[in-house]
A and B are shown apart, each in its own frame.
Chain A
């Protein structure tokens, strides 16, 4: 596969600039010769057509939610309505400038204000900030809120955050980045928090717990009220990771379950094309005791005017420049208005129905270590297949069938994990086809294992050496290789 530098460098190609109508000055006149490089940088010298063809060729190798099922567990790779995209292209949004006067920004500010209100209603929480730009950014913001809360209460000794072993991997990282130490809580054999293990850790050094709801096994904490009550009784706070909200949106509210901080992944649940680094939005909702500490500016309505209000001295400050990823908020707002109450309930109904449909069928072919009704996703194991077939081989073989593999080797509590989230937007035909492929691969594992060991064979590149790539990454272009 060629990179831009691999294309022949053509003398004189590239842009044609008009002749200058101002006196020429050399870079060293402007910057001083000590700041000017002695040799021209080696950048590809390509014309516009070459560049367009290069990227078009790459785009044809891509696979996305507009191509087919994308069952990447916990990522909610669902189809995103194109109406969202139309709305983001409205001239008023495209032309908005973050430094424009409030009086000229009432439309954009009004959308943020109304979206905050909708998210308050969905979560059942007291207040919302739209500033964080990713799920993990929402987590970090939540951990700063925990910290400020205990500073204000004069309890600096609360330095530990409890984390079930079924939580999202970003949770412990966020807690550690905010300066907390992490204590892992093991799951019981039903795949939920072991209440005795939790109670044994609760003391005056605990700031709180971070729960992924439902957890990474796709299982809802059936003792959620006992968990949050135990943490509150011990003086701690409860964080809910909302990345899996598509499994209960419109049906249950974190605020009613004892959450003090809840983050939305607007780009997942409320539909923005995502993956590959963003842009995302990790709106954070909080309970009443934490409201004063939310990031500034707040978006407030004063009479008929929406204002950005910076005057909140107890705030943790800003967590992003301007106001987060605005166009993700636009898509979330458009999505909510398209679906309405009944539509959102249909989202969670279909997310759960699709996952259970696939789980029931596939557990006849692959081990299902936690065999119970799931929510939006479930975790199979690739363990026990003959001929040394691993989960990695299954994932690579799926690529040969033209399907994106699920999340693999996570969560760690399932050996050889295959974490499958079909999402709410796949129809029965698509689910059946995916199941047929996984069943065919299980047969191949027994009868023609070389097809799995060698996979992928039909992709643009063969099996990449992930170990070498991690041990000896090549991060620069080797100009002098020839």
Chain B
């Protein structure tokens, strides 16, 4: 699995794809491999306002229940509700169809503190 160069990453193993004011968020391939088979994803409500590092949902696998932390501050403008019936998408396509939420970000400068693909891969190596 490759780590897209256009994404930014957190030490808590989320990825974020920033396009203008919007940011799509999911968990990384490394995170899904560590968790094992995902059996349930708890999604935030639409309109939820989160701070960077705040709680953005929960991913439950056969091994563990893990929080998803928001890489950036913003408001939830879309959630991937197909995960309610197909949580396995987080395992099968963590960087694509397995995305979790779409944020409207409030402070684009926060992105400067995130890791690029090379730095993230060094972290998990």
B residues near A471, Cβ cutoff 8 Å: 39-40, 87-88
A residues near B40, Cβ cutoff 8 Å: 470-471
Is B96 positioned at the interface, with any CB of A under 8 Å from its CB? no
The answer to whether A466 and B64 have CB atoms under 8 Å apart is no
User: Given B60, B62, B87, B88, which contacts A466 in the complex, CB threshold below 8 Å?
Assistant: B62
Using a CB-CB cutoff of 8 Å, which residues 429-482 of chain A contact chain B?
A: 466-467, 470-471
The answer to whether B64 and A467 have CB atoms under 8 Å apart is no
Is B42 positioned at the interface, with any CB of A under 8 Å from its CB? no
The answer to whether B63 and A467 have CB atoms under 8 Å apart is no
Is B37 positioned at the interface, with any CB of A under 8 Å from its CB? yes
B residues near A47, Cβ cutoff 8 Å: none
The answer to whether B62 and A470 have CB atoms under 8 Å apart is yes
| C-alpha gap A178/B1 in the complex (Å) | 42
With A467-B37, A470-B40 given, is the CB distance from A409 to B63 under 8 Å? yes
B residues near A470, Cβ cutoff 8 Å: 37, 39-40, 60, 62
B residues near A412, Cβ cutoff 8 Å: 64
Count contacts between A and B, CB distance < 8 Å: 17
A residues near B60, Cβ cutoff 8 Å: 470
The answer to whether A409 and B39 have CB atoms under 8 Å apart is no
Q: Distance (Å) between the CB of A354 and the closest chain B CB?
A: 27
A residues near B64, Cβ cutoff 8 Å: 409, 412
Q: Distance (Å) between the CB of B33 and the closest chain A CB?
A: 12
A residues near B39, Cβ cutoff 8 Å: 467, 470-471
A residues near B63, Cβ cutoff 8 Å: 409
Q: How many residues of A contact B (CB 8 A)?
A: 6
| C-alpha gap A409/B35 in the complex (Å) | 10
Q: Distance (Å) between the CB of A263 and the closest chain B CB?
A: 23
Q: Distance (Å) between the CB of A414 and the closest chain B CB?
A: 12
| C-alpha gap A409/B88 in the complex (Å) | 20
Using a CB-CB cutoff of 8 Å, which residues 60-93 of chain B contact chain A?
A: 60, 62-64, 87-88
Q: Distance (Å) between the CB of B32 and the closest chain A CB?
A: 13
Majority SS at the chain A contact face: helix
| C-alpha gap A471/B85 in the complex (Å) | 9
| C-alpha gap A301/B104 in the complex (Å) | 64
Q: Distance (Å) between the CB of A306 and the closest chain B CB?
A: 44
Using a CB-CB cutoff of 8 Å, which residues 3-53 of chain B contact chain A?
A: 37, 39-40
- Closest residue on chain A to residue B60 by CB atoms: A470
In this complex, the member of B40, B63, B64, B87 whose beta carbon has the largest number of chain A beta carbons within 10 angstroms is B63
A residues near B88, Cβ cutoff 8 Å: 471
B residues near A409, Cβ cutoff 8 Å: 63-64
B residues near A466, Cβ cutoff 8 Å: 37, 62
Q: Distance (Å) between the CB of A182 and the closest chain B CB?
A: 10
Contact with B along A23-53 (1 / 0, CB 8 A): 0000000000000000000000000000000
Q: Distance (Å) between the CB of B119 and the closest chain A CB?
A: 21
- Closest residue on chain B to residue A390 by CB atoms: B36
| C-alpha gap A204/B88 in the complex (Å) | 43
A residues near B87, Cβ cutoff 8 Å: 471
- Closest residue on chain A to residue B55 by CB atoms: A181
Q: Distance (Å) between the CB of A212 and the closest chain B CB?
A: 17
| C-alpha gap A412/B39 in the complex (Å) | 18
- Closest residue on chain B to residue A416 by CB atoms: B63
Q: Distance (Å) between the CB of B54 and the closest chain A CB?
A: 12
Q: Distance (Å) between the CB of B16 and the closest chain A CB?
A: 22
| C-alpha gap A470/B64 in the complex (Å) | 12
Q: Distance (Å) between the CB of B70 and the closest chain A CB?
A: 16
Contact with B along A267-293 (1 / 0, CB 8 A): 000000000000000000000000000
| C-alpha gap A467/B63 in the complex (Å) | 10
| C-alpha gap A412/B62 in the complex (Å) | 13
| C-alpha gap A263/B39 in the complex (Å) | 33
| C-alpha gap A409/B63 in the complex (Å) | 6
Using a CB-CB cutoff of 8 Å, which residues 99-118 of chain B contact chain A?
A: none
Q: Distance (Å) between the CB of A406 and the closest chain B CB?
A: 15
- Closest residue on chain B to residue A415 by CB atoms: B34
- Closest residue on chain A to residue B86 by CB atoms: A471
| C-alpha gap A444/B62 in the complex (Å) | 25
| C-alpha gap A467/B37 in the complex (Å) | 6
| C-alpha gap A319/B124 in the complex (Å) | 46
| C-alpha gap A357/B115 in the complex (Å) | 45
Q: Distance (Å) between the CB of B125 and the closest chain A CB?
A: 15
| C-alpha gap A240/B93 in the complex (Å) | 42
| C-alpha gap A434/B72 in the complex (Å) | 50
Q: Distance (Å) between the CB of A5 and the closest chain B CB?
A: 27
Contact with B along A400-420 (1 / 0, CB 8 A): 000000000100100000000
Q: Distance (Å) between the CB of B25 and the closest chain A CB?
A: 21
| C-alpha gap A466/B37 in the complex (Å) | 9
| C-alpha gap A471/B83 in the complex (Å) | 11
Using a CB-CB cutoff of 8 Å, which residues 152-193 of chain A contact chain B?
A: none
Q: Provide a sorted-by-A list of 9 A–B residue pairs whose CB atoms are within 8 angstroms.
A: A409-B63, A409-B64, A466-B37, A467-B37, A467-B39, A467-B62, A470-B37, A470-B40, A471-B40
List the 5 closest pairs (A to B, CB-CB), nearest first. A470-B39, A467-B37, A409-B63, A471-B39, A466-B62
Given A409-B64, A470-B62, 4 new contacts (CB under 8 A):
A409-B63, A466-B62, A470-B37, A470-B60
